[in-house]
Amino acid sequence: NLGDAPRAVKEMVESHLDPGQHEKAIGDFKRESLLLTSLEHPSIPTIYDYFFDGQRGRYYLVMKYIDGGDLAARQRAAGGLVDEKEVTEWAIQACDVLDYIHSQTPPIIYRDLKPANLMIDSRSSRVMLVDFGIARFVAPSQKGVTAIGTMGYAPPELFAGNVEPRSDIYSLGATMFHLLTGKDPQDNPLLIFDFTKNPKPRQIIPQMTTRMEQIICRAVEYKPENRFSSAKAFGQELDDHVRTLRLGTPGEQFIPAPDTQIGETVIAPANICVHC
């Protein structure tokens, strides 16, 4: 009994499967749906039920209905560019839920993080990760995972069949890049984050802080080992940054120059980050 509260039903369509693949798909769906129903996190909509319609060849998940818009809609409403502090706060919450699913045994890799799959719950104002249609439980050493994702947001290793928690870090970095610069990674999916050939974030949006540019560039590094080591580490960096943003534009910082004698002080411009 679900009561009178509205629910969302996610429909997943099965197609082009032979009988062997069909049975495996049903088994995988049941297993993964059962595991998803066990997840408890404020940024994951509660999943109440799941079932398979054999006649139509379709799978269904019944979950909590989120009545807020997604981040893509928020971006459009903002005229294409979202405030840096707001994006940072959203990303901190995204890192928290990614850290949660990555900490499962085996880890859950979301694989399709993008603005359209992050919603804002109008009741709690919390970021919600809403579409687990292609999320997968992946053992740390597992190879040959099906390459599914959204071009531009998906990291290079995903299309080679390799996926790991840092793959989601790349997608979150790409999402932040899009929200902050207005440049959709899907428009140039293979090269947009090759900053030797394409503009870095602050070349597109000069008002972006230097530290945010550094954060984004690290998150979308080509090699996973060069990204943040985990969603938790990513979130900690963002949390430190947002505390600075909440203070507003910092005043002049007194930083000794390398050749300054003891007792002397020089004034550094306000746009120099004392953490870098």
What would the pLDDT profile of 95-143 be if each residue is shown by its tens digit? Answer: 999 999 999 988 989 988 999 999 999 888 999 998 765 555 554 544 4
Look at strands 267-268 and 253-254 and give their pairing.
Answer: antiparallel
User: 6 or 198: whose pLDDT is higher?
Assistant: 198
Mean pLDDT rounded to a whole number for the chain: 82
Please enumerate in sequence order all residues whose Cβ is within 8 A of that of 203, keeping only pairs 6 or more positions apart, or say none.
none
Q: What positions carry a catalytic annotation?
A: 112
Crossing angle of helices 231-246/165-181, nearest 10°?
30
User: 148 or 113: whose pLDDT is higher?
Assistant: 113
H/E stretch holding 216: helix 210-219
172, 193 contact by CB (below 8 A): no
For residues 202-225, give the mean pLDDT: 97
274, 253 contact by CB (below 8 A): yes
Q: What is the pLDDT of residue 45?
A: 86
Alpha-carbon torsion, ordered 160, 218, 110, 118, to 10 deg: -130
What would the pLDDT profile of 240-274 be if each residue is shown by its tens digit? Answer: 999 999 987 543 333 333 333 333 333 333 343 43
Q: Of the candidates 30, 72, 70, 31, which has an alpha carbon nearest to the alpha carbon of residue 52?
A: 30
Q: Of the candidates 179, 92, 45, 185, which has an alpha carbon nearest to the alpha carbon of residue 37?
A: 45
Alpha-carbon span 127 to 52, nearest angstrom: 29
